[in-house]
Structure 1
Amino acid sequence: MRKHESINHCLNRTMKLNRLCSILLWIAVLSSSPSRLVAGEKFDTNPKHQLPRPDGKPADTNKPVKVFLLMGQSNMVGMGEVSPETTPGTLEYLTRKAKRYPHLVDDQGNWTVRYDVRYVFVMQKGDGMQVVRNEWLTVKPRTTFGPELQFGHIMGYLLDEPVLLLKSCIGNRSLGWDLLPPGSERFTFEGRVYAGYKDTPPWWVEGQPKATVNWYAGKQYDDDVGNAKKVLSELGKFYPGARTYQIAGFVFWQGHKDQTPVYASRYEQNLVRFIKSLRKDFDAPNAPFVLGTIAFGGWKLAGPGLTIANAQLAVSDPQKYPEFAGNVKTVEARDFWRESDVSPNKKQSHHYYRNAETFMEVGNALGWAMAELLGKAPR
């Protein structure tokens, strides 16, 4: 009996050791995988949100073009790095090494193209409008990209009509000064008078001479709206074959430059007026409006930045703003912050270290939020 007990004991011990070795082997494999998650990182794993590759077919331009107006500052302009493939956090690394976002590449490893989604990006340059992009939605030949890439893929997949992504913005702009919407009034903060719409300079002390600046409150709002209207007035030039259009929605991602106590304190009321002004200027009173929170530092965001994020979340609270219920939605972006050690850039925290995953996931969240407001979200 003792001999059999000894054999059984050895067998049990061997089996336990084998199981332990298997577990350790899997841990080693996962830890060496380029697609591993860092603790705290999140991305969309909803199976209903996984996109197929584009079918390569154009949309029917006899139908009105669904126009989505994208506005903001530099991160809406687009700071996600595309290459090189060997650098963690670039789009090439994510698609080719980590095997993420398979709808962006074909079987040969080339970037896919959506011929049903037109991407137009315009920017103010001096006294005129610069056309930065006017092309079908794809990655090449860009070196950087913004939330429009994934947002556009979602809209193209869900909508039968032709889609126009009309991005009109420029970097380093605040909502409290540059993008201040029409109707905004002067106010006083800590002894200074701050500009209302079309006032200049940004602030002054009552009874003292004003500084002279070649700008006015809301000038960037006027430029961005004016440039977008120029594009729409020549629709066929920017969407070949298109005849008519409908403003289908607005997309906004902004807030870095407002991170001062004074502008942060006004951000919520400025944002409410911004939403209403855009709808009025484009004669689209019921068009859905989606926006993302700022997310600098992820959930460590504090001070005026946290005030801004809370203001951005507040506008989609139906209890606080019942008129926005079902037509304004804010997406929480702090889950999409990535640290510098897994990013292409080690210094530009204000550009999310140029991490492509951040820009893809923000665009993804904005896209599915828009789908929900349009009644197109999968169930």
Structure 2
Amino acid sequence: MSKPVQVYILMGQSNMLGFGKVAGAKDGTLESAIKAGKYAYLVDDSGAWVTRKDARNVRVMNFKDYKNDWLTVAKTGKIGPEIGFGHQVAEATEAPVLILKSCIGNRSLGWDLLPPGSERYEIDGTTYAGYKDSPDKWPTGTVAKKINWYAGKQYDTDVASAKKVLENLDKYYPGAKQYEIVGFVFWQGDKDRYNPAHASRYEENLVRFIKSLRKDFNAPDAKFVCATLGQTQKGSKGNEGAILTAQLAVDGKSGKYEAFQGNVATVYSHPLSKGGASNGHYSGNAETYMNVGEELGKAMVELLKQTRAE
């Protein structure tokens, strides 16, 4: 504990929460994948799930604790990308690691997770909400009738929930006295694909989301990795195509955003997905969640290596 805890904050919607099935002999469960020789690092010689003592796995949702333990696979229940991600970054980090997931399902970047500074905009006679506006849209020229929610409400809550964990660090990482936020992870986009306006603004919102997180957590050098929707292929049209294009555009290697070079990466999830779609939680296939998590971890490690090399 002589080194600051290396914190990775995971955000998104339901697939970031995780619906990968653990138990069972049927194809698609984590147990069946282990029996097939995959993800061998998750079990010890006796076949028991490995528990890492150098990485904590914490999940909060709307200020409530849902998980606070060492990184391992529960015998029952479900997994998200945090398992594959956590093992990748912990193996590459010579310091204690805290995987901190703060999110909830059914949230869009264009409304619930809209970052601070986002301005309202108009499309075809409809005004769409900017940050802290309510409701999400209204006929241009009319008075907006507020509802019990506002644009960015979930962003504010997820950020504040994560900060509460960090303010009580010893509760979530026993013995820890200091921390460093080194990375953000984002797997989201499903809800925005049902709204053409939100899909059309996804890139602008994602760019601001990255910048806002770094500002709000006072972590200007923190890396950012995101994953695309598993069912969406390159070349797709419509809302899903727009979201995929936006997610690929922020990758520093695309060259579109100079400020993101070497510190932002996107994982193309379609080749990693074992079927199903984001709205059906990829049929609960644990391999999809493991594959995406591993690749997010590898992308994060690569960004960190680039920084160290500099």
Give the aligned partner of residue 350 of structure 1. 280
Q: 1:326 aligns with which of 262, 266, 273?
A: 262
Give the aligned partner of residue 282 of structure 1. 217
Give the aligned partner of residue 45 of structure 2. 107
Distance 1:305 1:142 in 2: 33
Contact 2:15 2:278 in 1 (8 A): no
Distance 2:80 2:124 in 1: 37
Q: 1:359 aligns with which of 280, 289, 302?
A: 289
Distance 2:88 2:15 in 1: 19
Distance 1:143 1:298, change over 3 A: farther
**Aligned partner of residue 135 in structure 2, secondary structure:** coil
Contact 1:200 1:217 in 2 (8 A): yes
Distance 2:128 2:278 in 1: 30
Q: 1:270 aligns with which of 198, 205, 213?
A: 205
Give the aligned partner of residue 119 of structure 1. 57
Percent identical residues: 54
Name which of structure 1's ranges 239-248 and 310-319 shifts more when overlaid on structure 2: 310-319
Deviation at 1:354, TM superposition (A): 1.2
Distance 1:74 1:320 in 2: 29
Deviation at 1:113, TM superposition (A): 0.5
Q: With structure 1 as the length reference, what TM-score do the two structures score?
A: 0.78
Give the aligned partner of residue 223 of structure 1. 157
Deviation at 1:122, TM superposition (A): 0.2
Superposed CA deviations along residues 207-256 of structure 1, whole A, max 9, x for unmatched, are: 33534421000000000000000000000000000010000111111000
Distance 1:284 1:209 in 2: 38
Distance 1:263 1:350 in 2: 21
Distance 2:33 2:222 in 1: 34
Give the aligned partner of residue 336 of structure 1. 272
Q: Structure 1: state its 5+ residue gaps.
A: 1-60, 341-346
Distance 2:169 2:238 in 1: 43
> Counterparts of 1:131-170 in structure 2 under 5 Å?
131-170=65-104
Distance 1:297 1:90, change over 3 A: farther
One-letter identity of the residue aligned with 2:169: L
One-letter identity of the residue aligned with 1:81: K
Give the aligned partner of residue 74 of structure 1. 14
**Aligned partner of residue 54 in structure 2, secondary structure:** strand
Deviation at 1:286, TM superposition (A): 1.2
> Counterparts of 1:1-379 in structure 2 under 5 Å?
61-84=1-24, 86-96=25-35, 98-124=36-62, 129-259=63-193, 260-296=195-231, 301-316=236-251, 317-339=253-275, 349-375=279-305
The structure with the larger Rg is 1
Contact 1:256 1:350 in 2 (8 A): no
Distance 1:276 1:115 in 2: 32
Contact 1:65 1:162 in 2 (8 A): yes
Distance 2:278 2:112 in 1: 22
Distance 1:297 1:311 in 2: 12
Distance 1:212 1:349, change over 3 A: closer
Distance 2:254 2:223 in 1: 14
Q: Structure 2: state its 5+ residue gaps.
A: none
Q: With structure 2 as the length reference, what TM-score do the two structures score?
A: 0.94
Distance 1:348 1:204 in 2: 29
Superposed CA deviations along residues 176-214 of structure 1, whole A, max 9, x for unmatched, are: 000000000000012100000000000001233534421
Contact 2:262 2:306 in 1 (8 A): no
One-letter identity of the residue aligned with 2:27: P
**Aligned pairs, number:** 305
